[in-house]
Structure 1
Amino acid sequence: MFTNQWRRCALLCLLLASACASAQDQDAERLRIHGSNTIGRDLMPALVDAWLRSLGFIQIQRRDINAALTELHATRDGLPLIVEIEKKGSGLGFADLVEGQAELAMMAQPLTARQLEDGWQLGDLHSPEQEFVLALDGLAVVVNEASPLRALSTQQLAAILDGRITRWSQLGGADLPLDVHSDGASSGTRDFIRQRLLAGAQVRRPIIGHAELAQAAQAVSKDPSALALVGLDTPLPANVRALPVSDTGIAVAPDPVGVGSEDYPLTRRYVLRGGPLMSALGRSLALYAVGSAGQRAVQQAGYRSLRLRQVDGTGTPDPRTPYGEAVAGATRLPLSLRFNLGSLTTYFESRSAGDMERVVAFMREPANRGRKLVVAAFTNDDPGNRLVPTMVSNERADIVAGHLIREGIPVVRALGLGGSRPLASSATEAGRVRNERVELWLQ
């Protein structure tokens, strides 16, 4: 009898505890973050956890409600908070932002023209106040060391994926079938391939799928006629190399400078977007994510952060050119400053606005005191007037140099090099934005 009473008492206590927890959850303030599964799976929970701890929250618990919903529960000063991370895709996350069902949208792809139209009431969605670049990711194209192929264009890669190129002879190699390896058909890698290279269309050729991208790279190490699409951080066997890729401009390797600057064309951003009237908590999280502590959390979670560091072994241009002469003996920093020329509030696009702050902080580190910068600017070519691109690029180099000098950072030279090194075709808006950039070189 005593045992039965004890069991009833224990059951009652459990029910009361559950009811109290449920009531507490109902009373809790809730921050809703919706969007990309790629970001929401691991990166966003890690960022939210670090942010909560930085604010003094305790009793932090991660609850995976279902495959599409994760919640982080925490308390501070006895008040509960729930951060809701819903992972149903970038498009649905942005739609929820527009409709007021989410305060922040996680996006692993650029905004489309339709999304910009749908979100017109949200203001300048590309401003640093509403667009927060969390991390970088992308795709590497790898081949066997025995392959004669030294570079590939995005147009050639698209032709491989839609079935127009099926043999190496079409790329200047031997008359052998071209086998493509990657991971599973439902992966984020395949989604990026469709969005970046095939304008959203399906891949039309067979791809040999592997459970892990490292296995795809291993397959290439054993087959000189194979090509693989892998992650930027996928470990490569000794006899496998990543190809530089061009997008109608110069070919760029997926090395730390190529990816960090986003000059490499198969780089993508992981972004948080918010509206103009974010709550104090929402803006706090977004600003934390792009700040130094948040970027450390990004790196610790295994992603490519925007933390600025010197990269050894970067290539230098031909010293016989004005570009090569200007940067001789210097090392390029892994960034490219770009502009938001349509904004009324800022000169730089969102990531570059933060990069300027990161550059100043980097140059003030004890290890860099006494070091100097070279500023080199590029713009789009104008076949009808060669003088205009040089004037425009000189103006932008001077603007960046002036900002750095006002912050006490020494600049030894600032020059504009016009349209001499295009990354992409200037026939599209996206191409023009990529070409209009400023490089910083550390002496």
Structure 2
Amino acid sequence: MRYFCAAVLAALFFVLGPVSGALAQDITLRSRDGGVELTGTLLGFDGEFYRLRTQYGELTVDGSGVFCEGVGCPSLTDYVADLSISGSATIGTVLMPALIESFALRTGLSAVREDLDPALFQYKLTDTKSGKLVGRFAFRVSNTDEGFADLLGDDADIVMALREIRRSEVALAREAGLGDLLHPNRSRVLALDAMVPIVAPINPVDAISPTDLSRILSGNLVNWRELGGPDAPVTVHLRDAGSGLSQGVEDRLLTPARSELRAEVIRHSTNAELATAIARDPFGIGLASFSEIGNAKPLGLTGPCGFQLRAARRSIKTEDFPLTAPMFLYLPARRLPALAREFLTFTRSPPAQIVIRRAGFVDQAPEEVPVDLQGNRFTNAILVAEGEGGLDELRRMTRTLSEMRRLTTSFRFEAGSSRLDAQSRSNVQQLARSLESGAYDGRKLVFVGFSDGQGPAQSNMAIARKRAETVRRAVLEAAETADTNQVEILTEAFGEAMPMACDNSAWGRQVNRRVEVWLK
């Protein structure tokens, strides 16, 4: 009896995933000595733990300590791990299937896809030696909004999202007993994408400022002549309103400008349709996924100072391109089946990063970039160096970094906040795991802080150094098992010495405020 009660209490810290309607039946769990029994509606079973709705509330019980009685009891010997995934078609159509097939190949499983309808399919995972079915991963591909709706309706275990979860969704999830989806363990960045402004190849415009892009989206800039193009009206193309990509455009470009999207927008249901429409529209402009630009022409992002940033694999990975869009998986506070947990672990592995790149997205595998391959970054630093103090700082930075390599793992903060942004929070975990594995043993790792150019240089230097210390502390706290005696971990700061974008706009200042990682 005591064993059963202890098992119940200990298991309250775990939550299981949703189950099909066939399993939502009353069962009785009886302790092995027969002294205690618990009756309720079976909500989930992951091969190890039962989740029940009882008169005492929702409870989770360790299956090793009980017998299950009732027609709804799952099989312990022929258990099949069921996982339901819903949300972004951009993630679900190509990337997730590629990852599942690679995962199966590396774990001795065969993965057979079954298409149920255009938006529904599942993978049946079978042990290649025994021929036994061990898992069913079901997908519903639509958009980010639908993914969160399915999660809140208990119809999905995992959400595929092209934007961060919104406050209203966080509140609804908490009310539904799904936990705090803002917690670091409740989301992960699967891969990286970007929102890239595109036009037709015959359009003479080659770059645009985020400010002008916002003006176009809000309807305050309506003629290409204002951008050096033809005397013709601007046509705006976007993905459908429920798409995470389209919502990300509004969140990143319109909300900060306190503007609303213009009424005349041509919507497209897929990324491919959007790119094709833009390529054919000589006066059109759209925000496309970096993974699917098609025959359209991508525009660079620029500003009055002349600095220009273009979407490329490396600039997206470092988040130097300001419209980088992380691709999220959101997981509620539920204990997923062991097979599902193994798959999620695989998505962060080096082989998975190769799959991500082959699928056309930007992976998160860190790369070391020597100084001579860092584009015009040092040129920008020379251009903004002013006075003897500025030149001295430039020389100090050059001496310090010239013999080192920049890691593509960078860190940035949310606008007006000391909280790291979503991609950077994921980077903390990634760098921590690298330290734990000994990837940088015997080397020097330096967190280098940079700031925007607003305000006194001395204050900017202090802010940059504080940011570097904040990131260093966060990484070391996450790297619990790392032997820090094997790697020299330092901080440095160069303030406003190396800007990435113009300081005369909010987006430019945001890009310039960063912490980079350099290695020797």
**TM-score, normalised on structure 1?**
0.71
Alpha-carbon deviations, 1:101-140, whole Å to 9, x = none? Answer: 3222111111111122223354453444322211111222
Gaps of 5+ in 2: 1-74, 383-390
Structure 2 CA distance for partners of 1:441 and 1:283, relative to 1, 3 Å: same
**After superposition, where does 1:28-427 map in structure 2 within 5 Å?**
28-58=80-110, 60-76=111-127, 77=130, 78-120=132-174, 121-142=177-198, 151-171=207-227, 173=228, 176-177=231-232, 179-180=234-235, 190=246, 192-199=248-255, 202-205=261-264, 215=276, 229-233=287-291, 242-244=299-301, 252-279=309-336, 280-311=338-369, 313-315=373-375, 316-317=377-378, 318=381, 320=391, 321=394, 323-324=397-398, 326-328=400-402, 330-338=404-412, 349-358=425-434, 373-378=445-450, 386=459, 388-396=462-470, 399=473, 406=484, 408-409=486-487, 414-418=491-495, 421=499
Higher deviation after alignment, 29-38 or 394-403: 394-403
Q: 1:201 to 1:56 in 2, by over 3 A?
A: farther
> What CA deviation, in whole Å up to 9, does each residue of 1:182-239 have, x standing for no partner?
577689565554454345965534669896566567568xx6x7755444255788x9
1:35·1:105 contact (CA, 8 Å) conserved in 2? Answer: yes
Pair 271,241 (structure 1): closer, same or farther in 2 beyond 3 Å: closer
Aligned 8 A contact 2:236 2:264 in 1: no
Q: Could you tell me which amino acid in structure 2 is paired with residue 140 of structure 1?
A: V
Contact 2:88 2:142 in 1 (8 A): yes
Structure-2 change in CA distance of 1:408 and 1:434 (3 Å): farther
Could you tell me whether the CA contact under 8 Å between 2:237 and 2:287 is conserved in 1? yes
Change (3 A) 1:398 1:306: closer
Query: How far did 1:243 drift?
Result: 0.8
Amino acid at match of 2:232: P
Contact 1:151 1:243 in 2 (8 A): yes
Change (3 A) 1:42 1:113: same
**Aligned AA (1:439):** E
Q: CA 1:349/1:130 → structure 2, altered by over 3 Å: closer, same or farther? A: same
Q: Distance in 2 between matches of 1:273 and 1:211?
A: 25
Larger RCO (CA within 8 A; separation ≥ 6): 1
- The answer to whether the 8 Å contact 1:137/1:303 transfers is yes
Equivalent pairs: percent with the same residue? 23
Query: Relative to structure 1, is the Cα distance of residues 304 and 415 closer, same or farther in structure 2, using a 3 angstrom cutoff?
Result: same
2:92, 2:160 within 8 Å by CA — same for their partners in 1? yes
Contact kept? 1:338, 1:352, Cα under 8 Å: no
- Identify if the C-alpha distance between structure 1 residues 298 and 391 changes in structure 2 by more than 3 Å, giving closer, same or farther: closer
Instruction: Give SS of 1:386's match.
Output: helix
Code of the residue aligned with 2:299 in structure 1: it is: A
Q: Go from structure 1 to structure 2 and tell me whether the alpha carbon gap of 1:329 and 1:252 turns closer, same or farther (over 3 Å shift).
A: farther
Q: 2:121 & 2:97 partners in 1: Cα distance? A: 8
Q: Give the secondary-structure state (helix, strand or coil) at the position aligned to 1:101.
A: coil
**More strand, by proportion:** 2
The amino acid across from 2:349 in the alignment is G
For residue 141 of structure 1, report the CA deviation from its aligned partner: 2.4
Distance 1:135 1:97 in 2: 21
